[in-house]
Chains A and B, each alone.
Chain A
């Protein structure tokens, strides 16, 4: 339950960061924080679902693994977009 509360707090912090940070890369970081909090909530749900000799429900765990990989691909695309954005904005090579 402790980590569930941590997950909820991470979602709150991440949401706050997405709204108040003007720099797009900081927004991406905050968004990943938000995502990390959601994954943690899944982890706590999985742990509560311990049954049949397993220490956690494997279904939410597998969902989180898929989620982490998809979050990475979205982050990589977002970072590439931001770099290209600044490249186009000031014409300098970055």
Chain B
């Protein structure tokens, strides 16, 4: 029984306890707070699973930015809770759902317990070409070289989601700015944090982006950290949210995917294939794509969190 085993057990109990609380608590707001706590606990679990890149993403996006969206929604939708209490399902449905969910969980648990041995692994294949790429972090190599197309499409998903959110705005406010400010009291905790944290957070975010080539870190992780600083300043009312029809917003959103796509297309000419990097230039190209992506990730995450436009462009 090592210390690591004890830590893992405590973490497992905490994760299960918080997850149970998210499902069981009565109020919406308590459930959302539980979700943010769960995200941070999961980030520690990811470190224990030797996946520091995932831990950074989980803490910044899974817990941080998602938490901001959910808390804002929960505080605005508080009045709708009473309506839905009347729609509680009866005991028969609850028991049935419980049994079926337990069966699914048991099936997955059986897969974990009786997993294939030896475990299949692509790690040797991922390591084999790291030297040619000049990238030291195998996760970054997978994201931007071996499976670059996944990452490109993921960027498109972010843009599509943002288009979806924007299109929910009523016609008369199209092109206007979202309403984010949480009505922070000047001199309150939010206003103070909104001033103190961003300078530090932006430096941390750029650092995380830069070390991503060799150590845990990268475009999303760094972008998410910077984006949360922007969201913080927006929520504290220190910065106005930009109008979605502003030209710089549109250009910033497209910049990252455009650079990625341009490099991908250039691969057809040399060395001959979509998203293949010419020998010797892989690392500079990957770093350039990551820098452009980070910029767009910041804007897209911030605007996704800000939601649809709230008042018209005229104001």
Contacts and interface: CB of A to CB of B under 8 A. Distances in A.
B298 interface: no
B204 interface: no
A1 B110 CA distance: 11
Q: How large is the interface on B (under 10, 10 to 19, 20 to 34, 35 or more residues)?
A: 35 or more
The prevalent SS among residues of B at the interface is helix
A18 to B, nearest CB: 9
A11 to B, nearest CB: 6
Contact of A5 (B42, B73, B109): B109
A61 B51 contact: yes
Interface in B251-288: none
Contact of B119 (A21, A45, A68): A45
Interface string B163-199: 0110010000000000000000000000000000000
Given A3-B49, A56-B51, A72 B108 contact: no
Contacts, number: 267
Contact of A7 (B112, B113, B151): B112
A37 B16 CA distance: 11
Contact of A59 (B94, B119, B126): B126
Contacts of A13: 19-20, 22-23, 101, 105
Contacts of B84: 22-23, 26
A71 B102 CA distance: 24
Contacts of A47: 49-51
Interface string B40-62: 00100110111101100110011
Contact of B73 (A2, A25, A40, A53): A25
Contacts of A62: 53, 139, 142-143, 147, 150
A49 B117 CA distance: 10
Contacts of B112: 1, 4-5, 7-8, 41, 44
Contacts of B65: 72
A72 to B, nearest CB: 5
Contacts of A83: 73, 76-77, 307
A19 B96 CA distance: 10
B54 to A, nearest CB: 5
B12 A58 contact: no
B66 A77 contact: no
B202 interface: no
B211 interface: no
A12 B101 contact: yes
A80 B165 contact: yes
Contacts of B104: 11-12, 15
B206 interface: no
Given A33-B22, A86-B80, 16 more contacts: A5-B113, A12-B101, A12-B106, A12-B108, A14-B19, A15-B97, A15-B105, A20-B93, A22-B88, A40-B42, A69-B157, A70-B154, A73-B304, A76-B69, A76-B305, A86-B77
23 contacts: A3-B8, A8-B108, A12-B104, A14-B23, A15-B100, A16-B97, A16-B101, A17-B22, A22-B85, A25-B32, A40-B45, A41-B111, A43-B45, A45-B119, A52-B127, A53-B127, A59-B142, A62-B150, A68-B62, A73-B160, A73-B162, A79-B307, A84-B168
